[in-house]
Structure 1
């Protein structure tokens, strides 16, 4: 079955006669009639009832018409997508990022997309392995290895979140040594903010404080709001908490975000452009001081 034959069928169904449809699809009436008969033979269905010069869809024809239209629509979309691929354009883009980055950075960034931007899909995933699993662009918390296209996006602080009545609520920063003497609400060890905290405690020679572990940064803030400890996360503030920057002997605790994509991707230049826009967006949202120098 050829797509051309389906187009002929749809034209006849919409115009009600072979003569009217023939003018639309630019073939002779005998040729069009022959194509319709061949289609009916292939399908083993009668698609039209012939009433003089008019053709009316049979019950089977009525049911087949939306199927034919859907096939033609998908075929047209496939051609458009192939043309876009050949031109290096993006029709859809899948962005992978950790949960906090998706919520606080990627979602607000996607809200700035316009009708001419690719249709975005997001997946909650960390690391460049997401690129091997189908993502077009990955936001990582480690510098991508050589071989990937990449761009540093932002350097964001780890926050120590406390409720309004806490003794540190009027301060803007807190020392890591002070935090080591308090109870901390932290994420599980697989999360990068927890790893940064652990590495910094060890580097400063500080003993691990009392920890309350949880698997979600918003829950960590909720526990801090309930007075269960100081939440150490990179999320934007929630529950009216007050955020303090964390100072260590090596400087403030920070997390670095990078964009990564496959250099051989058919739309690698377009992905680099999205990464650059995301970098600019981070500067607009959090201040230009969070944007690192481009390599």
Structure 2
């Protein structure tokens, strides 16, 4: 058994087939099959159910996979764990929900880079559920996401900010009653594949508000532009860090008392030697949030 074999096993699980795994780890299909056979023979267990067209992990195979991820993660962390910089150099992979990529993440990354010039932050956008899976698979060191209903076992949650969900309309909408606006205008829905979209849908149902869907999207900028063009109204998270020169939209709180919010935070493995850099990433994000506005002037002031 070798780390290389464990990486191959993880690649098979992540990519679905031996052929796709072969491409991912840069070996032949035959080599992947040979490595998996060798693992099964060495451990005297069936890792894959080969009665199906595409080999599937057996129950014991899934248990082995979970341990393999832990072993590979620990192996990859050996050098950073003994370096005097606590891992504050080299490459750090960070996932981010799209809504945070226009201001919070670039602002925080600029703050981080100013202090740790040898740290390279590689950014990967995605929806919360997918990003959490990537953190679980050790494909990402951490991810900035909307807090899910349940944080998976083995991952830790580090809160960054709470963002109120607000109703946005164009300047041509003159009504000031949020419920009436929602019931009488086309609704541009935040994708229900995103956690924040599910929060919005739950709030609408809890308050008995029927909306007239016209579109369903993920991008905050795209939704805001469509609203400004008077193609509908929408509910979005009010960014904890405002972009420079935001679009001229009307904003309404959804409730005077206890309006809905989405919680934004970092998810990362509980057992990681990159805890020091994760602490610094979180600190930079909280500083950006405290400043609250993303512009050349605020960046210069923060650095």
TM over 0.5: yes
- Matching residue of 1:267: 274
Match of 1:90 among 73, 88, 92: 88
Aligned length: 202
- 1:199 CA drift (Å): 0.3
- Matching residue of 1:114: 114
Q: State the alpha-carbon separation in 2 of the partners of residues 210 and 258 from structure 1.
A: 29
Q: 3-state SS of the aligned residue for 1:190?
A: coil
- 1:156 CA drift (Å): 0.8
- Matching residue of 1:128: 132
Q: State the alpha-carbon separation in 2 of the partners of residues 206 and 259 from structure 1.
A: 32
Q: 3-state SS of the aligned residue for 2:211?
A: coil
The 1:243–1:134 alpha-carbon spacing in structure 2 relative to 1, beyond 3 Å, is farther
Q: State the alpha-carbon separation in 2 of the partners of residues 128 and 275 from structure 1.
A: 17
Give 1 or 2 for the bigger CA radius of gyration: 1
- 1:107 CA drift (Å): 1.3
- 1:133 CA drift (Å): 4.2
- Matching residue of 1:105: 104
Q: State the alpha-carbon separation in 1 of the partners of residues 290 and 284 from structure 2.
A: 10
- 1:227 CA drift (Å): 1.1
Runs of 4+ in 1 over 3 A off after TM superposition: 81-85, 174-178, 208-211, 235-239
| 8 A contact 2:191–2:218 mirrored in 1 | yes
Q: Does 1:147 align with 2:154?
A: yes
- Matching residue of 2:167: 160
- Matching residue of 2:143: 138
Q: State the alpha-carbon separation in 1 of the partners of residues 125 and 279 from structure 2.
A: 21
Q: State the alpha-carbon separation in 1 of the partners of residues 247 and 267 from structure 2.
A: 34
Q: State the alpha-carbon separation in 1 of the partners of residues 272 and 256 from structure 2.
A: 42
TM-score, with normalisation over the residues of structure 2?
A: 0.58
- Matching residue of 2:287: 280
Q: Does 1:240 align with 2:247?
A: yes
The 1:135–1:128 alpha-carbon spacing in structure 2 relative to 1, beyond 3 Å, is same
The 1:115–1:207 alpha-carbon spacing in structure 2 relative to 1, beyond 3 Å, is closer
Gaps of 5+ in 1: 1-80, 287-295
The 1:243–1:192 alpha-carbon spacing in structure 2 relative to 1, beyond 3 Å, is farther
- 1:138 CA drift (Å): 1.0
- Matching residue of 2:185: 182
Q: 3-state SS of the aligned residue for 2:114?
A: coil
Q: 3-state SS of the aligned residue for 2:147?
A: coil
Pairing of 1:65-80 with structure 2 (within 5 A): none
Q: 3-state SS of the aligned residue for 1:157?
A: strand
The 1:177–1:116 alpha-carbon spacing in structure 2 relative to 1, beyond 3 Å, is same
The 1:160–1:205 alpha-carbon spacing in structure 2 relative to 1, beyond 3 Å, is closer
The 1:229–1:208 alpha-carbon spacing in structure 2 relative to 1, beyond 3 Å, is closer
- Matching residue of 1:199: 202
- Matching residue of 1:20: none
TM-score, with normalisation over the residues of structure 1?
A: 0.59
**CA RMSD, aligned part only?**
2.8
